Amino acid sequence: MQVDTASLAREFEATGGDGTPAYERIKRVISDRIRTGKWGEGERLPSEHQLVAALGISRMTVNRALRELADSGAIVRSMGVGSFVAETRAVSPLLEVRNIADEVQRRGHRHSTRLISLAAEDADDRPFAADSMTDRVYRSVIVHFEDDTAIQLEDRLVNPALVPEYLQQDFTSSTPNDYLSRVAPLTRTQLVIEAVLPTDEQAAVLGIESHEPCLQIRRSTWSAEGLVSVVRLTQPGARSRLEGGFDS
C-alpha cells in the first residue's frame, strides 16, 4: 500500500503538545480519517511497520492504538493480512430521541417550559475534554410542563466547542433538543436508564414528594464532530413512561 506518510505525520504532530498519550493521538488521527470518509469502508490501513516508520514511534504503541480501535469496532484486523476499516452496520433505534413538546401536543395537551438556569460553568469531570480541549461547559436546567403539571426536569451540559451560540438561545420558544438537533445533527446516542428517588431540589422543582420514584435518563449524543451534549432527564414515575420497540 502506498501511504501518504507526510500528511499522516503532520496530523499526528498537530495533536501533540499537550499531555495526550501517543497511542490516543494515533487513534484520533485514524478515526478522524475514517469518520470523514477519507478512508472508506473496507480500505486497507497502513501496516504497523509503516506507521512506525511514518510517525517515528515504537511498534508497541502503534499496536495498542490499532488494537483498541479494533476492540471498539472501528477497524478489523487479521493476522498475516492487515488492518482494514470496518464495514458499518445499521442498528435500529429502540428509543428515538423524540421531542417532548411534540409528545405532549400529540396527547392533546399544552407544553411549556420554565428556565431555571443557563450559564457557562467550570466542569468538574470535563465530559468534553477529549473533544474540545477545554474545561468549560454550557449548562441549562429546564422544567417541562404538560398543561400545568411538571413532567420532566432537564439538566443539560453542552459542548461549547461544538455549539458556541448555545447561551444566546431563547429556550422559552424552542427546546434545547430542538435547537441542538438543528445545529448538530446527531450520529450516535447512548442511554442509561435508572429508577431513583429525587433529590430534595429535584422534588421541589417538579412539585412532587421526595419519596416518589423517578425515571432518570442520562443521554449522551454525538454529532460527526464529537460529543455534543450530555443530559440528565428526571421524570416523576407517576407521570411518565418510556415506550419503544423494534423488529428483528
Q: Which residues form the interface with DNA (CB under 7 A)?
A: 1, 19, 21-24, 45, 47-50, 56-61, 63-64, 66-67, 70, 77-83
Residue among 186, 205, 225, 232 that touches its own copies (CB under 8 A) = 186
Q: Choose the contact partner of 152 out of DNA, its own copies, none; CB within 5 to 8 A by kind.
A: none
Q: Which does 211 bind (CB under 5 to 8 A by kind): DNA, its own copies, none?
A: its own copies
The packing angle between helices 48-55 and 5-14, to 10°, is: 60
Q: Which partner, DNA, its own copies, none, binds residue 245 by CB below 5 to 8 Å per kind?
A: its own copies
Phi/psi of residue 221, nearest 5 degrees: -125, 135
Residue found by looking up cell 429556550 in the block: 171
Q: Which of 93, 102, 114, 119 binds its own copies (CB under 8 A)?
A: 93
How far apart are alpha carbons 18 and 165 in whole angstroms? 27
Binding mask 40-69 for its own copies (x = CB under 8 A): --------------------x---------
Question: Other C-beta atoms within 10 Å of 171: how many?
Answer: 18
Q: Which is nearer to DNA, 23 or 128 (CB)?
A: 23
CA dist 226 to 33, 34, 35, 144, Å? Answer: 14, 13, 10, 27
Write out the DSSP string of 55-71.
Answer: HT--HHHHHHHHHHHHH
The interface partner of residue 193, options being its own copies, DNA, none and the CB cut-off 5 to 8 Å by kind, is: its own copies
Residue with cell 468549560: 136
Q: Footprint of its own copies on this chain (CB under 8 A)?
A: 60, 88, 90-95, 186-197, 211, 213-216, 235, 237, 240-248
